[in-house]
Amino acid sequence: MTRFALVFAGIVLALFAAQLTPPAQAWVVGPWTDAVAHVATWVARAFDPDVTVVGATLYSQPNGFAVTILAGCNGLEAMIVLLAAILAYPAPWKHRLAGLAGGVLAVQLLNIVRIVSLFYIGQWNLAVFEWAHLYAWQALIMLDALIVWLLWLRLLPRNPPALATA
Amino acid sequence: MASTPSPEPAGPRDGLIGAAPRDILLFAARTLAWAIVFFGAWYVAAKPISLANSWIAARALEATTPAGSVRVAWRNDRTLFEIRPDASTIYRDRLPADLSVDMEVNTLKQTYGVPFFLALLAAARARRIVAKATAGVAILMVLAAIGIACEVAVGFGMTQVAGAGQPFAPGATAGTLFALGLQLGTLIFPCVVPVVLCVAFAGPARVPAA
């Protein structure tokens, strides 16, 4: 447990610090955030053709309301935490990669729901938007990552080779 | 294949790690239910919680910045930090003797980890829940205070006094640390630490002996 905690904390801090650096912002965080905004716009357009996107900003053409996706809203933090938890736990690499793929999908699917919901909550009530944006959705995304990790742990083989020989 | 029942059969008070998928999903549902209760209570008690955290943050600011005294108050649903530079800074930078830098901070951004943690812990049905809740809340309050202090320090470092420059100009290292603390205090401490504490406190699920 101690080893897991140390490796987990080390990976989280290293990746979190790395994603704050200018190269990571330019080459990873920025393009990723733009991609998230475009996917969210594509989803919103399924029922609202008046939504447009410029960079990482979603606009509502009828009322001019816009939301910009910033750090903390692109799902990267939750992905970093999930990645650290999966890598820190002793498991075969095949299972780690499967967990990461499933985890990224689960986190980003919910993150798209978050962005689209916030886009419409903001047009309805800014006080509720702030509450949902700053507190509720942050916790929900991390709960999502926790549930994915717990399910992944459960799906691991009971006696993986790496553990059996330890 | 015969199996011997565990002396303490698996039940609702088992831990999270290794729990059955059904129990994990029930845990998620319970967390959402408890979150309504604890987030509601946290929002109602925002003022005392924020002031308690901000008092700790004020002491940290006095220790790490050229602030002679930092007072906190509640204004417009925000915490007001009233920062008075220390005497040496006022003398060196020829600042007005009664200079006070006021900053309003939404400290709820840093403290929502407390209701989130309590919802997770209640949903996990951990043993000795009161002791664990107390310990976890204490840890989260200190981390929230660090985040608040860093946010105020970053704002203090950007403050310009007309005709007298900056009362606080942190160096590159200190500035980076304050900025990192601000990021950690809003993006990591309140949402990741509650999850880590909950998993650690709930422990592994008991698997019936084969």
Nearest CA in chain B to A70: B187
Taking the CA of residue B27 and the nearest CA in chain A, the distance in Å comes to: 9
pLDDT at A159: 63
pLDDT at A103: 94
Does the beta-carbon distance from A138 to B28 stay under 8 Å? no
Segment B73-77 shows an average pLDDT of 89
Does the beta-carbon distance from A138 to B188 stay under 8 Å? no
Q: Which domain holds residue A89?
A: 2-33+76-156
Give the DSSP letter of residue A89. S
Other Cβ atoms less than 10 A from the Cβ of B183: the count is 22
Q: How large is the ipTM?
A: 0.86
- Any domain includes A64: no
Question: Which residue in A71, A145, A151 is closest to B21 by CB distance?
Answer: A151
Check pLDDT > 60 for residue B5: no
pTM: 0.86
Nearest CA in chain A to B27: A147
Question: Which residue in A134, A136, A143 is closest to B109 by CB distance?
Answer: A134
Print pLDDT tens along chain A (166 aa): 788 889 999 999 899 888 888 999 999 999 999 999 999 999 999 998 999 999 889 999 888 899 999 877 889 989 999 999 999 999 999 999 999 999 999 999 999 999 999 999 999 999 999 999 989 999 999 999 999 999 999 988 876 544 444 3
Enumerate residues 6+ apart whose C-beta is below 8 A from B27.
Answer: A147, A150, B16, B19, B123, B124
Give the DSSP letter of residue A25. I
Q: Which two tokens stand for residue A52?
A: 């447009």
- Any domain includes A80: yes
Q: Suggest the residue from B34, B77, B191, B199 to mutate for an interface test with chain A (most A CBs closer than 10 A).
A: B191
Taking the CA of residue B95 and the nearest CA in chain A, the distance in Å comes to: 35
- Any domain includes A143: yes
Nearest CA in chain A to B203: A1
- Any domain includes B165: yes
Does the beta-carbon distance from A150 to B19 stay under 8 Å? yes
Distance CA B81, CA B70 (A): 7
Q: For chain A, what is the domain count? A: 1
Does the beta-carbon distance from B112 to A139 stay under 8 Å? yes
Q: Give residue-wise pLDDT tens across range B89-103.
A: 888 777 777 788 889
pLDDT at B164: 66
Q: Give residue-wise pLDDT tens across range B138-192.
A: 999 999 999 999 999 998 888 877 766 777 778 888 888 888 888 888 888 999 9
- Any domain includes A129: yes
Q: Suggest the residue from A150, A153, A163 to mutate for an interface test with chain B (most B CBs closer than 10 A).
A: A150
Check pLDDT > 80 for residue B76: yes
Q: Which domain holds residue B169?
A: 21-65+108-202
Does the beta-carbon distance from B112 to A138 stay under 8 Å? yes
B116 to chain A: which residues are within 8 Å by CB? 139, 142
The owner of tokens 């690499």 is A93
A72 touches chain B (CB under 8 A): yes
- Any domain includes B30: yes
pLDDT at A161: 47
B39 to chain A: which residues are within 8 Å by CB? 135-136
pLDDT at A163: 44
- Any domain includes B11: no
Question: Which residue in A17, A72, A147 is closest to B187 by CB distance?
Answer: A72
- Any domain includes B102: no
Check pLDDT > 50 for residue B11: no
Nearest CA in chain B to A79: B192
Q: B158 to each of A112, B101, B155, B165, B168, how far by Cα in Å?
A: 35, 11, 5, 10, 8
Question: Which residue in B21, B109, B112 is closest to A154 by CB distance?
Answer: B21
Could you tell me the pLDDT band of residue B88, with boundaries at 50, 70 and 90?
Answer: confident
pLDDT at B205: 67
- Any domain includes B146: yes
pLDDT at B12: 46
The secondary structure of A92-150, three-state, reads: CHHHHHHHHHHHHHHHHHHHHHHHHHHHHHHHHCHHHHHHHHHHHHHHHHHHHHHHHHH
Higher pLDDT, B189 or B68: B189
pLDDT at B2: 45
Could you tell me the pLDDT band of residue B71, with boundaries at 50, 70 and 90?
Answer: very high
Q: Suggest the residue from A12, A131, A138, A144 to mutate for an interface test with chain B (most B CBs closer than 10 A).
A: A138
- Any domain includes B148: yes
Does the beta-carbon distance from B191 to A138 stay under 8 Å? yes
Does the beta-carbon distance from A143 to B120 stay under 8 Å? yes
Does the beta-carbon distance from B186 to A154 stay under 8 Å? no
